[in-house]
Structure 1
Amino acid sequence: MTARFSIPIMPDLAPSAPFVQEQDFSARQYRGKRENQEDYYAFADAAEPGETSLQRLLLVVGDGLGAHAGGSVASYVGVNAFVRAFHEHPGSQSFRLRTALDTSNETIGMITARMPSVAPPMGTTLLSVLVSRTQMEWISVGDSPLFLYRRGQLMRINADHSLTPILEERVRQGLLTAEEMANHPERHTLQSAVLGYPLALIDFPTEPMALQPGDIVIAASDGIFTLEHKALEELLSFGKHTTADKIADAILFAIRRINFDRQDNATVGVVKIN
């Protein structure tokens, strides 16, 4: 589920209508088999001056690191610091996305600095996507996936900062078998996360991606990977006939039905482009 693809960019045209909550955008969460819900998400109105409210959406998803102190606190703090900074800073949308990420990272770093020195650092993955009816921009750190479903095809469009891509390359080179990769104990280890330190890897395209009517954008935590790529793709084939909230509900229902005994927290944010 790590394939990426290229779509021509285009100028952002004024959206014809605002997004409607639950109909056009929605999110759902499932704690899974974990003791705590360490994911956190937020939708925010990102309309520019002169635009109608909700003509642009900002969606931010954080997946707190369970092996670190305060994973649930880290995702909450990281997401809220990002949203606040995006709205408080002037400049282009692209500049505000990057500034918001840096602010989120710095905020977590300041909190970690006040913790006992024996405690592991507080941390979270962070995925933010800015969506209008004609295009989207994103910035991400970690392994939380951003998907685009278009005309029957589901594709991941942001980078995976876990060790999975490295292991997949070793499989291609014949250095590992597919079974060895699937059972590798470090396949979910992150190469980059929001920990308050300099960010090792950031996925931040230089240009927006064009969107088309009928597209479905999904921002999620890695708990969604319980579903095989094909299963999620087939589920979304019904998406054009229903609303964003029903799509999010259906995805989490499918995850629950699998009843994986080590199911991670799952968060699914959905935006439909009509």
Structure 2
Amino acid sequence: MISLFKRKKLKGKAADEMQAMDDVTQTLLYPSENDSEKTLCFDSCETDTTEIASYMSIGTRNNQQDSVRFDHNEFSTVCVVCDGMGGLSGGERASALAAQGMTQHLLENAQATDISTEMGRAALRLNEKVKDIRDSENRKMEAGTTLTAVFIRNGELFWCGIGDSHIYLYRAGELRQLNIDHNFGVHLDQMVQEGSITTEEALRHPQRAALTSYLGIQELTLISGNRIPFPLQKDDVLLQCTDGLYRCLSDDAICQILNATKDLKQASKLLVETALTFPGAHDNTSVLLTKYKG
């Protein structure tokens, strides 16, 4: 699959903060194979500069294909969320491989000058590994995974996204998405702006949610991220989530929960549990919150 669109040009400070990455990345952990049978999974940790909490639900699916991983060393904190796809255990294996690989690579290269390039190198290697996932009879499996990665060092943020999992920045009561969705819907929305199709046609298109980039794709060419370090402010919260959350909760609803719930553990749990209250079937739903303490 190839890229179907280009990133919108930004100007001034926004261009500096949100500049697209030209290189692409590698990855980690939650859940392991034993964890996949659990309907809910919670974890948290705290470092000198960050507080982290995650909450996961299997939803109404038979298995958990999301993976969440966070770790740290004396130099940095790394947080990764992946949403796997593929028959049988393919999605579980792809997301776990990607999450583990990215986390490990970034921690091992935590003192590197160019973190965005390290993310790109890791993603490219992981893409090849996911493509080569095989079953018990050594046959290649149709597997893939989205990926979001957050790297914090000395109060500066680097991030990257592949696919349609989200990274948000919650600051001073406001929420904004940092990464770009890599799906056909973005291209359809551009066609609406150009007058090629109507809004209704774009919303009803059967391929609207089809991914245009993911780990496991034939050739990985599309990734969103920042090359210029993004300065964090005290009490900034980064939210990484799979589509099970934002397809049920609007940005306003997410923001309201974060505004009302300052405890990170409670917030991560409430976000997932609120999404699960909506009627209908539910996808795997995972949330990872990282608060910068300054």
Q: Distance in 2 between matches of 1:133 and 1:245?
A: 24
User: Percent of counterpart pairs with the same letter?
Assistant: 26
Aligned counterpart in structure 2 of residue 211 of structure 1, from 232, 245, 261:
232
Contact 2:84 2:146 in 1 (8 A): yes
- Cα 1:174–1:230 change in 2 (3 A) is farther
Q: Residue in 1 aligned with 2:254?
A: 232
- Cα 1:187–1:199 change in 2 (3 A) is same
**What TM-score results when the alignment is normalised by the length of structure 1?**
0.81
Q: Distance in 2 between matches of 1:198 and 1:47?
A: 35
Contact 2:171 2:235 in 1 (8 A): yes
User: How far 1:103 sits from its partner (Å)?
Assistant: 2.9
Q: Distance in 1 between matches of 2:14 and 2:185?
A: 21
AA partner of residue 29 (structure 1): M
The two structures, once aligned, show a CA RMSD in angstroms of 2.8
SS in 1 for 2:54: strand
Aligned residues: 251
* 1:152-167 alignment runs, 5 A limit: 152-167=173-188
User: How far 1:6 sits from its partner (Å)?
Assistant: 2.5
Aligned counterpart in structure 2 of residue 42 of structure 1, from 69, 72, 75:
69
Q: Residue in 2 aligned with 1:12?
A: none
Find out whether 1:103 has 2:122 as its counterpart.
no
* 1:10-49 alignment runs, 5 A limit: 18-19=48-49, 24-48=51-75
> Runs of 5+ in structure 2 lacking a partner?
1-6, 18-46
- Cα 1:43–1:7 change in 2 (3 A) is farther
Contact 2:160 2:223 in 1 (8 A): yes
Q: Residue in 2 aligned with 1:13?
A: none
Contact 1:134 1:210 in 2 (8 A): yes
Find out whether 1:140 has 2:175 as its counterpart.
no
Contact 1:191 1:200 in 2 (8 A): no
AA partner of residue 271 (structure 1): T
User: How far 1:27 sits from its partner (Å)?
Assistant: 0.7
Q: Residue in 2 aligned with 1:268?
A: 287
Q: Deviations over 1:68-100 (max 9, x none)?
A: 861111101111122222234573333432232
Q: Deviations over 1:169-197 (max 9, x none)?
A: 22333444444433322111000110064
Find out whether 1:64 has 2:87 as its counterpart.
no
* 1:165-184 alignment runs, 5 A limit: 165-184=186-205
Q: Distance in 1 between matches of 2:126 and 2:183?
A: 20
User: How far 1:251 sits from its partner (Å)?
Assistant: 0.5
- Cα 1:133–1:212 change in 2 (3 A) is farther
> Runs of 5+ in structure 1 lacking a partner?
10-16, 49-55
SS in 1 for 2:202: helix
Q: Residue in 2 aligned with 1:243?
A: 263
Q: Deviations over 1:196-245 (max 9, x none)?
A: 64312111321121111232110111111211122112222224xx2211
Q: Deviations over 1:6-25 (max 9, x none)?
A: 3866xxxxxxx7146xxx21
Q: Residue in 2 aligned with 1:14?
A: none
Deviation >6 Å, runs of 4+: 2-5
Q: Distance in 1 between matches of 2:152 and 2:108?
A: 19
Q: Distance in 2 between matches of 1:180 and 1:140?
A: 27
Q: Distance in 1 between matches of 2:85 and 2:74?
A: 31
SS in 2 for 1:65: strand
- Cα 1:237–1:177 change in 2 (3 A) is farther
Find out whether 1:82 has 2:112 as its counterpart.
no
AA partner of residue 213 (structure 1): K
AA partner of residue 102 (structure 1): L
